[in-house]
Amino acid sequence: MRRSDLAKLMSRAKEYPMPPTPQKSCDKCGKPNRLQARFCGHCGQPFAPAGSEQEGRSHQGTRRLPTSVLLLLAISAVVALLVYTNPSPDHYRAFVQRELVEAATTPEERFVASLFTPLLGWGIDAFTERTNYYVFSVYATHLNTAGGLKAIGILGTFIVVETPQAFSPRPPAHARSV
């Protein structure tokens, strides 16, 4: 490289100066030092670790997940919980049997219901339609009244939506077509 080329480069360097590097000043002597310095390069005074600077270093290697990813994970966890706790037809049968025993008003009715209700398991299955939506299920036990027993099974429990006026079962549409 010739001397004239070097002079041109030096003049251009003056036209486009480098941006100043961030520095911190020493509390004792006031001279500038690098941000990463732990001791003053002029007087040897140690720099006190700043609270925000120390916190910045401790979290420097960790990354936060975006809010959309956290929201997606939360929704996925709720859906997985609902799918896992969706009650089965066996749970519904036990629920109806328990409801029949509890619906008895006198001790004699309760005694008879507790004896014969376990035998009605096949009848409950025959008169019940289940619509499974994966996160919850709708159970409809058809009776000869204006409605029937309808319940929503969700989170391992049942929410009764409609109760029958009297208990006189009739088979659901798919069982009657035979």
Q: Concatenate the DSSP letters of all residues of 109-129 into one string.
A: HHHHHHHHGGGGHHHHHHTEE
3-class SS of residue 21: coil
The residues, any chain, with a CB within 8 Å of residue 103's CB and separated by 6 or more, are 113
Angstrom distance (rounded) from CA 47 to CA 26: 7
148 neighbors 161 (Cβ within 8 angstroms): no
- pLDDT score at 178: 45
- pLDDT score at 147: 57
Residue with tokens 């290697």: 61
Point out the residues of the chain with pLDDT beneath 70.
Answer: 1, 13-19, 50-62, 143-147, 164-178
- pLDDT score at 159: 92
Strand pairing class (148-154; 157-162): antiparallel
- pLDDT score at 137: 93
Nearest partner of 120 among 148, 92, 156, judged by Cα: 92
- pLDDT score at 72: 94
**For 136-161, how does the pLDDT look when each residue is reduced to its tens digit (9 = 90+)?**
999 988 765 555 788 999 998 999 98
- pLDDT score at 85: 92
Specify which residues 129 forms β-bridges with: 140
Contacts 24+ apart (CB under 8 A), 173-178: 174/129, 175/126, 175/127
